[in-house]
Amino acid sequence: MSVLSSPHFHDEAKAFEFLESIVWANGVTCPHCGVVDGRVYDLAGVRSKPSKKNPEGVVRHGLKKCGECRQQFTVKVGTVFEHARLPLHKMLQAVHLMVSSKKGISSHQLSRVLEVQYKTAWFLAHRIREAMREGDLGMLGASGGRVEVDETYIGRKAGAAGVKAPKASGSAHKNRVMALIDRDTGIARSMPANGLARDEVAQIVRANIAKEAKLTTDESRLYSAVGREYASHDFVTHGRSEYVRGDVSTNTVEGYFSIFKRGMRGVYQHCGEKHLHRYCAEFAFRYSNRVAFGVDDRQRAVKGLQGIVGKRLTYR
């Protein structure tokens, strides 16, 4: 039986029950007054206002009323799914498809699978990427292990006033991305770093890596100054064909970039600087929660849904 044959992927009432079990694992929380496990009433049989498409209205699944503040709400209120008109069971399908696709899934493919308009699939995909973004960021390398850091170049920057930048050689016209991977925990983080000057690189390293860590990079001078602040700073010299020296290498982070680039070039193809941080979060989320760490597709989807709370994304 396919994973996508589960009831919550096809039945709207089951979809709300499934999401409630994840978001309200510690009890129903009113998003308006914040009371947990207070007096909450289920409002069954309530319908939306009549429309041309639905003259009798649509059943409002999962609708509740708080006995403290008297406000109505569903599990979607206060999450990245708030005000989304797409049926919840289709959004859950999209979450599963995105977290289980190693190199991502395009909005065009999502629109075909879910049978929705492209712009709906595109917006939904960005909502899900926003949910994948880490909230409480702990420091990498806190146990004193190695943290690999590297940078790469992807796509092409837009020119002034939205005009495409001319084709050019080198990397000055490309978007820059940094990645950091804790070798002990396997947690990855990646983010745009379009300045990619020493000061910007140093700020990113300091904000994400504990001082007890062993910083591991290539021979780039970007890391020479900030590397002195850490327990150790070891590097391999790629310019001299040195890729491994004992346990010193950047092979892990380069493997991450291999997946990232294949996805960005082969699946997404076009990504502007405005949205790059969300694509970085998407790939880092899947890498940090992969099968090698005992996380299967179902568990990864649940973890992704746990990240929807307290986030909003609007393009109005």
User: Tell me, what's the pLDDT at 54?
Assistant: 80
User: Tell me, what's the pLDDT at 171?
Assistant: 65
User: Tell me, what's the pLDDT at 278?
Assistant: 95
d(CA 190, CA 226): 18
User: Tell me, what's the pLDDT at 277?
Assistant: 94
Closest Cα to residue 276, out of 111, 126, 61, 90?
A: 126
User: Tell me, what's the pLDDT at 268?
Assistant: 93
User: 146-154 and 214-218: which strand pairing?
Assistant: parallel
User: Tell me, what's the pLDDT at 167?
Assistant: 59
Measured CA angle at 77 (ends 73, 80), to 5 deg = 165
User: Tell me, what's the pLDDT at 160?
Assistant: 41
User: Tell me, what's the pLDDT at 161?
Assistant: 44
Query: For each successive 10 residues of the chain (316 residues), what is the average pLDDT?
Result: 86 97 94 89 86 82 94 96 95 97 96 96 96 87 96 73 54 85 96 85 95 96 94 95 95 97 92 91 96 94 96 79
Question: Residues spanned by CATH 3.30.420.10 within the chain?
Answer: 146-274
User: Tell me, what's the pLDDT at 165?
Assistant: 55
With beta carbons less than 8 A apart as the criterion, state whether 81 and 314 touch: no
The CATH architecture to which 146-274 belongs is: 2-Layer Sandwich (3.30)
With beta carbons less than 8 A apart as the criterion, state whether 192 and 307 touch: no
